[in-house]
Amino acid sequence: MICAQKAKEEKAKKREPCDGLCQEWFSKEKGSLDARTYLADKLLPTLIPGVEKLLMEVERKDVLTSATEHAKFDPITFLGEYLMRHNPQYDTCTKPGPYLRGLDAVTEELKREIPDTASERLARMKSEVKTKRKEREQADRMKHQQKEMRKAALATQFKEWTADVSGRIPVYVHSYTENFPNDAFQEVLKHLSQCAADFQESIRRDTCKQMFIDLFLHCDRGQVGVLDRAQILGMLEQFYERSSVCARRRFCNPKECMWGVSIIQHQSVLLEQKSKNLNAKSANRSRPSISTDSVCTQPTRLGSTGLRSALQSVQHSRQLAVTHGAHCLSDLHPTVADIQSRRAPRFGSPFDGSCLNLPRFVQLMETFVGEGIALPAVKELVGFIKEEYKQTEEEKVKQLEKAHLTSRLTRRELLLEALFEKWDIDASGFLEMKEVEAAMNAFKEGMEKEAVRKAKNHFCSRYPQLGRVGKLSPKAFQAFLELVASELTGGEDEVIDNIVEFLTTRVERSHRQCLQSSARRRWLHNIQQAAESSGARMDPVYDAVLKDAEAHGDNKKISAYIALLEENQLSPERGQTLLRYVTCTTDDAPYVLNQTLYRDMKGVSFAAVEEKKPIHVPRVQLHGNIHFWNQDRPAEQRRGSFLVLPLQDAHWRVFGTLGLDTLRDQSEKTIFLTHEISFYQGVSHAFSKAYQHVCALGSVLQMALTALDWLHHRVPSIHAVSTYLVEPGNDQMRDYALRRTITTDTTGQKEIHTSPVLLLREENLFRDYLFKCIDCSEVVCRSVCGEQHIAVPLRDPSGRALGLFDISIRPHQTLSSHEHKELQRMLKMTQAACSEILKMPSEETKASCVLEAEHRNVRHAGILFHRLMLQDLRERIQKLNAESFAEIKSYEDPPALVHNTMKAVLLLLHPEWEGTEKIENWNQCILVRRLFLPFSLPLSDLAFLEVLPASFLQANLSQL
């Protein structure tokens, strides 16, 4: 109804517009505002129509004509009658004319001008509403235009990604970005544009990768699975040198690229030497296959016929090895299957400085061609290598022999590990050497006792520590049997198989024992797996040890706790060392956790530490020398059995104890049986290995922190560095994962992640270069979202990557030649320090300490990096010659930098001169240089001395 009335009024307004004369009443003069408002509102709407009627009546009767008399017409009376008839309180039927409608509008405007009135407030509210409505409509129009522009931009963007016929992808992305501000949306567009470029680059890279795979298969005509690394590198250098100057810019210079050889050169030498030793050992065996020595010493005698016969000989040796091991492997098949089910898949391939397998070959070629190179140039490179790569028949046979040797060693390792587990019924982790020796003395009816004696003597001389304790770990067991086999006549594989077959028949296990042993070994495996996936934290290892303690205790209620040995610095009068309890089962936590056991307190734990043997207390209530942490425990709950086992490292040094008791068990059978004690020895050994592994990872991270501190001030082009550790996959996820542990930003600030981020391959498509670095154990360079990344692996002694550095270069920057050398030096020292750290827990090596601070300071890993740098400095100083002295000899009063540099050099070689006139006085310094040094040093040759901060030189040079 109201809408219809308004529409009707609008039509009338269009038909008869308002009269503009009424605007004369509207004025901003404040003095007469009230009067004018009153007149326009109360009087004029009635008076104006009356006057209009009066004038019309006067005109109709022609009253104003002077010739006519109108005695009866009174205008006052007419107007009064009109006003009485059209009183606005009673007459509402009068339709307003144009003037009155305009007057009404003027009246409303006048009322709005009167302050603090309802009309004024209402008018102000209407004005504000109208203004906001206009602003909202304007914003909606702009938002709609922006929405259409963004949709168009996204549609244009995704044309570069894929052929989206339906156009759903831009709409889908827009639903997430429609509320973004312009700056953020532009950043999204920039990111999508970069991702589109990366996607196009990945397509080109995949095409090149397939070309390199085909090239590898073409060059590997013998189907050995490897190519000669040195030959491939030489061919890349030839191709680079023969290319034009313009073409060289598209490739990476082979002499400057980080191929990985310079970073881990010492490891490749060790691996090559190890391979040579294995080949030499195999050559000394009289086996039916062709010997490696004959291949190497008589290369000219092998033609095509010789190659065929060599291949036949290799195949024959493989068949012979399988035949010899068939019988013993059938008996050990359940054990082998159990070992393989527990093993996580080995990730990546070990680095080898002599040959290239398929992943490392593809990575090497991708590094050489770089990014953004055209496919015709890649085809030219592929054609060059296809034509130039030559492999003699002797090299093919040598590679086949090497592959066969690796296969035999892998099979032997698995076979001997299965044999060890068959003998180690209680899963203690060790075998008594006298038992193995007694069994081997019966080999061939006792005819090989002399060979066994010689092998034992050789073993004890190689592993003196193991010889003294009389125990054999799995690796020591394998080494002992290999030494025995080396003393016997016949082919090595055949002798090993005969020994395995003989020892397999010397031990019998029931089905129940097999199931129990398998369950126990899975627990031990879980402890080791917890260490490998812990991110250098001990909490997962503690949980793995304590979680299944009762499950393997023959239904006993077992309490377990671990104490670590520490130096007693606060109360040395109570003993030089103390035991601090770092973890325990949940029920004992209020009484045991973080407690400290001193030597002057009751207990048998220190006896286990000193004797290095387990101590079993069958009846705790009868012993009298047991310390109870819960003093309120009633006497009836102090019954049970107590077992303390020493925790020993690879060198049999005790670093803590593992304690177990059955005080919470109220049954009668609470005593630990012999096989249970043996098994818990295996648990302590597994925990010790896990503890050493976690400590080694922690030392690697600590060393990495030191290296990153050193790198930050010398390579300013580096934007950020992330450090990752590799973790094996579990049963559900067979692939490995990367755990980010340390992040260094532009300012050099480091963040150590207490809850490290875990990266999975399938969830990080744009970080595939990290996983490729681990897969091939090689340096990988990749551009991601406009940033250049260099992924550098940290390798273990076997050559496999255990972690990596993800080095990000600042946008639109490249490393200078000097920065590149500094980065290579840091990576070389980091790899050397990492190798030394990982060799420390080995049974065959001992930690080498050069600096005095390494003997006193437990933070050995932090000092190790600086020590290697100092040793490298000494070597560089000793390589300088006398021709370099011309510049520095001319100084009579040298700058402070020159004098300090000479002092640092002299202190590197003669730290006992610190603070003496020999280095503080320049003339004495020059004289000392002439007397004691065969060379002198100019400033241009001493830039490398800046690798160590002055504070470190002052603190540690005197300790060299």
Name residue, tokens 């020059």.
Answer: 926
pLDDT digits (tens, 9 = 90+) for 58-67: 888 777 775 5
| CA distances, 209 to each of 349, 360, 362 (Å) | 18, 12, 6
pLDDT of residue 312: 47
- Please state whether 608 falls in left (phi above 0), alpha (psi between -120 and 50) or beta: alpha
pTM above 0.85, yes or no: no
Q: What is the pLDDT of residue 580?
A: 93
Output the pLDDT for position 959. Answer: 35
Q: What tens digit of pLDDT does each residue of 260-295 get? A: 433 333 333 333 443 444 344 444 433 333 232 332
pLDDT band at 953 (very low <50, low <70, confident <90, very high): very low
User: Is pLDDT of 501 > 80?
Assistant: yes
Q: Which residues pair with 431 in a beta bridge?
A: 472
* Position 845 confidence tier, pLDDT thresholds 50, 70, 90: low
Specify which of 302-306, 327-331, 394-398, 848-852 reaches the highest per-range mean pLDDT.
394-398
Q: Is residue 172 part of a domain?
A: yes
Distance CA 209, CA 780 (A): 14
Split at pLDDT 50, 70, 90, the class of 310 is very low
C-alpha dihedral, 917 to 921 to 926 to 929, nearest 10°? 30
Ordered alpha helix ranges (H), 593-720: 605-611, 620-623, 674-712
| Ranges 254-268, 311-325, 532-546, most confident | 532-546
At residue 283, the pLDDT reads 41
Same domain for 110 and 124? no
| Average pLDDT of the chain to the nearest whole number | 76
Q: Give a yes or no: residue 436 inside a domain.
A: yes
Identify the weakest region by mean pLDDT among 196-205, 753-762, 935-944: 935-944
In this prediction, what percent of the chain has a pLDDT beyond 90?
Answer: 9
Mean pLDDT, to the nearest integer, of 245-271?
Answer: 57
Distance CA 238, CA 703 (A): 39
Q: Give the per-residue pLDDT at 615.
A: 92
Coil/strand/helix, residue 677 = helix
Question: What was the pLDDT predicted at 297?
Answer: 31
Least confident span in 24-38, 585-599, 716-730: 24-38
Going by pLDDT thresholds of 50, 70 and 90, the confidence category of residue 582 is very high
Contact 728, 533 (CB under 8 A): yes
Cβ neighbourhood burial of 93 (10 Å; 0-12, 13-18, 19+): exposed
Q: How far apart are CA 925 and CA 903, in angstroms?
A: 8
Identify the domain boundary among 114, 130, 146: 114
What 8-state DSSP symbol labels residue 290? Answer: P
Instruction: Evaluate if residue 656 carries a pLDDT over 80.
Output: yes
Task: Show the 3-state SS of 567-619.
Answer: ECCCCHHHCCEEEEEEEECHHHHHHHCCCEECCCCCCCHHHHHHHCCCEEECC
CA 922 to chain CA centroid, Å, is 50
Whether 154 maps to a domain, the answer reads yes
User: Quick one: pLDDT at residue 16?
Assistant: 66
The string of pLDDT tens digits covering residues 520-530 is 888 888 888 88
342, pLDDT greater than 80: no
Determine which of 498-512, 814-828, 857-871 has the lowest per-residue pLDDT on average.
857-871
Q: What is the DSSP string of 366-407?
A: HHHH-SS--HHHHHHHHHHHHHH----HHHHHHHHHHHHHHH
Smallest CA-to-CA distance from 642 within 654, 626, 657, 666 is with 626
> Does residue 906 form part of some domain?
yes
Q: Specify whether 109 is located in the same domain as 171.
A: no
Give, rounded to a whole angstrom, the gap between the first and last alpha carbons of the chain.
Answer: 104
Q: Confidence class of residue 624 from pLDDT cuts 50, 70 and 90? A: confident
CA–CA dist 439, 431 (Å, integer): 12
- Residues 6+ positions from 390 with CB-CB distance below 8 Å: none
- 148 and 102 in a single domain? The answer is no
d(CA 173, CA 163): 16
Using DSSP, how many helices (H) and how many strands (E) does the chain show? 36, 16
Instruction: Evaluate if residue 644 carries a pLDDT over 90.
Output: yes
Same domain assignment for residues 94 and 160: no
Do 124 and 110 lie in one domain? The reply is: no
- On whether residue 693 sits in a domain, the answer given is no
**Domain boundary residue, one of 164, 179, 194:** 179
Question: Is residue 437 located within the same domain as residue 500?
Answer: yes
- The dihedrals phi and psi of 738, each to the nearest 5 degrees, come to -115, 130
Which candidate, 682, 680, 769, places its Cα nearest to that of 724?
769
> What is the predicted pLDDT for the residue at 782?
83
Can you tell me which residue has the tokens 């290239």?
A: 356
* Of the residues 512, 545, 565, the one at which a domain ends: 512
Considering only 150-154, 636-640, 736-740, which range has the smallest mean pLDDT? 150-154
Q: Which residue has the tokens 């504000």?
A: 128
Handedness of CA 413, 415, 421, 424 (dihedral sign): negative
The tally of domains found in the chain comes to 4
Higher pLDDT, 907 or 206: 206
With CA atoms as reference, report the closest residue to 481 among 497, 461, 468, 463.
Answer: 497
- Same structural domain, 886 and 922: yes
| Domain housing 135 | 120-179
User: 116-130, 629-643, 741-755 — which is least confidently predicted?
Assistant: 116-130
Please check whether residue 255 lies inside any domain of the structure. Answer: no
pLDDT at 153 over 60: yes
Higher-pLDDT residue of 49 and 454 is 454
Same-domain pairing of 99 and 166: no
Dist CA 679 CA 470 (whole Å): 18
Question: By C-alpha distance, which of 590, 558, 592 is closest to 663?
Answer: 558
Domain annotation covers residue 279: no
Is residue 382 over pLDDT 70? Answer: yes
pLDDT at 647 (0 to 100)? 92
In terms of pLDDT, which residue wins out, 690 or 370?
690
Span 109-116, mean pLDDT?
70
- The pLDDT of 633-648, averaged and rounded, is 85
pLDDT of residue 730: 64
Q: What is the pLDDT of residues 70-110, one digit of tens each?
A: 557 788 888 888 888 877 777 655 666 677 777 777 777 77
Q: What is the full DSSP assignment across 887-915?
A: HHHT-SS--HHHHHHHHHHHHHH-GGGTT
412 and 507 belong to one structural domain:
yes
Highest mean pLDDT among 377-391, 502-516, 897-911: 377-391
For residues 578 and 596, is the Cβ–Cβ distance under 8 A? yes
Find out whether 295 and 394 touch, Cβ atoms under 8 Å: yes
% pLDDT > 70, the chain: 76
| Same structural domain, 42 and 96 | yes
Q: State how far the Cα of 881 lies from the Cα of 224, in Å rounded to an integer.
A: 48
The reply to whether 22 and 108 lie within a common domain is: yes
For residue 725, give the H/E element and its range.
Answer: strand 718-727
Please compute the mean of the pLDDT values over residues 796-802 and round it to a whole number: 87
- Strand order across the 615-617 sheet: 596-597, 577-584, 559-567, 654-661, 642-648, 615-617
**Average pLDDT of the residues in 239-245:** 86
From the list 243, 238, 409, 254, the residue with the least C-alpha distance to 321 is 409
**pLDDT computed for residue 334 by the predictor:** 78
Nearest to 938 by CA among 865, 857, 883: 883
Q: Are residues 145 and 86 in the same domain?
A: no
Separation CA 297–CA 276 (nearest Å):
14
Residue 645: what pLDDT? 93
Q: Please identify which residue in the block is written with the tokens 């046979």.
A: 397
Please indicate, yes or no, if residue 574 is contained in any of the structural domains: no
Determine the distance from the C-alpha atom of residue 402 to the mean position of all C-alpha atoms in its chain, rounded to a whole number.
34
